[in-house]
Structure 1
Amino acid sequence: MQNLFLTLFFSGKSPKAPGTIGSIVALILGIPFVLYSSETIILLAILIGIIAIKQIDIYEAKYQIHDPKEIVIDELVGMWLAMGIGACIGGFDIQVAILSFIFFRIFDITKPSIIGKIDKKVKGGLGVVADDALAGIFAGFSTLIVLKILDFFL
C-alpha cells in the first residue's frame, strides 16, 4: 500500500521521466477536485503532503536512500497546489491545466532560488515534499500572472 501511494499508482516506476509521468497522473487525478473547488484541491494537497512526509521518512529509513526517482507523490502535491492556485480567480480550464503543468515541471526540474536550496539542504520526507510544494506554489502564481496578462491583451 505504501508503494502504491508513494509511486502514485506505480507511475513513478516509469523507466523514462517518472516525475513527468507522475505529474500527468496527478493532473488527471486532480481535475475532479479542482472542478469542485480550488480550495478543496489545495487542502487535499496539504493533507496528502503531510501524509507523504511521514511515509517518505519511513521509506528512506528502510531503504537508506534519499529522494528515489520512483517516489512521485511529491509531484502530486506540487501539481495540485499549482492547479488550485491557478484556478483561484477564473476557475479551472484547459489553459490553467496546461500552464500549471508546464510551469510546475519547469520549476521542479530547474529548482531556481529557494526551491533548490530546500532540495539540497532539507533532508527526509520534508525535503522531498517541500521543494515540490514550493515549485507548485510558484507555478500556480506564474499561471495566474500569465492568465492576467493574456486577459489584458486579448
Structure 2
Amino acid sequence: MPFYRCLIPKGSLNYDQRSEIATAFTDVHCGISAAPRNFVHVAFLEVEEGSPVSDTHGTGVLKYDTPFFIAGGNRAGRPPEVRAQILDGLINRFSEIVSVPRSDVSGHISEAPASWTMEDGEILPEPGEEPAEWYVHDAVAD
C-alpha cells in the first residue's frame, strides 16, 4: 500500500536512477515497517518548476519549495516517530542516489485508514496484522 510519488524536474533522472530509488525506497520502508516488499509502489512525476501538483486526496495542491519532493501515502496506525524515520530514510537515499544535497529534497507522508485500501483484491489489515502468507514473496530461496 505504501505509495511514494517522487516529484522531479523534467529530465532530471534517468531510468537507472529511478530503478535504484524504487529499490532503495522499498528497502527503507520494509526495513522500518516490516511491510511485505511487494506492497511498496513508487512513481516519478516530472514537473515544470512552479507547476501545481494535485495532492493525493484530490482536495488541493502540494506545496513544496525544493527541486525534489517525495509525496508519500501510507496506512494509518504507525507512531509519528516511525513515519518520520521512514521519511528521513527516503530523503537520505534519494539525495545519495541523485547526488544532490539533502536540502534539495523534502517530503511528506500522509495516512489513510487501512480499511480504505486494497492490495491484490484484499482490504488491508492494520499495520503489523498482516497474515504470514503475505510475506511469501519476500522469502529467499536456499
Q: TM-score if structure 2 supplies the norm length?
A: 0.28
Structure with bigger strand share is 2
Structure with bigger helix share is 1
Q: TM-score if structure 1 supplies the norm length?
A: 0.26
